[in-house]
Amino acid sequence: MKKILLLILFFCVFFSSLPEVLAGVGIGMGPPKLDLTSTIGKSYFLNLILYNPGDYDIKARVTFECENCEEKVYLFGWYLGRTKEDYTQFFNFEPEEVYVPAQTAPEKPVYSYLKIHPSLFVKKEFIISTPEEINFLVRMINPSYKGEFSIPYYTLLLNEKEIKGGVTATAVWSSFGPMGAAPAVGSYLTLNIKGMPLGSLILIIVAIVIIIVGILWKFGIFKRLRR
């Protein structure tokens, strides 16, 4: 009797999942690999094509998972924390969510645009991890403290910078209804950005120093200091 009940339960679960399996909820994206170059101050768009070979309309969300946007920081071998930067300072997707009708072919796709817009100034966060002895005391005041805090700061984009990671398009909604596992497709992105040459920065600093010294000399500051 138990075997019969288990068999009936198995077939119920199996056949209840068939509509979703046979529904044809799918998603495609191109190109499969993106090797891009850019320079600071130069903005341009690149087309990402999205298509839907399935039988139901979908909404796709395009996201990026950066591989090298975080870096660990050590001082004399001691781990202090990590630096983190937001990739959206260099590029973003417009729009991030795209409606893709059923049976959309790669020849007539829907587009999400990759907008590349690097700038000279880069905002970063220095995330400091605190030891458990300090965490215990802080949590007495702030129970939600997670054992780290961040300090924002800005740097210059000097020489060259490489950003790499995966671009993923995920079906977050389907006209079929709730999806057990959201279909997704990905491509790999590498973006090389040419920043300000270090020599140019040195020349700017030297020029500023010369200008300041010239202004001070003109107003006789050095003569007054000698007196």
139 is a domain residue: yes
Q: What is the pLDDT of residue 130?
A: 84
Q: What is the pLDDT of residue 224?
A: 63
224 is a domain residue: no
What is the distance in angstroms between the CA of the first residue and the CA of the last residue of the chain?
110
Q: What is the pLDDT of residues 206-223, one digit of tens each?
A: 999 999 888 888 776 666
CATH number for the domain spanning 159: value is 2.60.40.10
What is the pTM (predicted TM-score) of this model?
0.74
136 is a domain residue: yes
3 is a domain residue: no
Q: What is the pLDDT of residue 62?
A: 95
Q: What is the pLDDT of residue 146?
A: 85
Q: What is the pLDDT of residue 98?
A: 93
17 is a domain residue: no
What domain range is 62 assigned to? 25-199
**Phi-psi region for residue 27, left (φ > 0), alpha (ψ -120 to 50) or beta?**
beta
Q: What is the pLDDT of residue 227?
A: 59
Which residues does the chain have with pLDDT short of 50? 1-23
Cα distance between residue 220 and residue 29, in whole Å = 67
Number of domains in the chain: 1
73 is a domain residue: yes
Write down the residue that tokens 């170059």 correspond to.
Answer: 37
Amino acid identity, position 168:
T
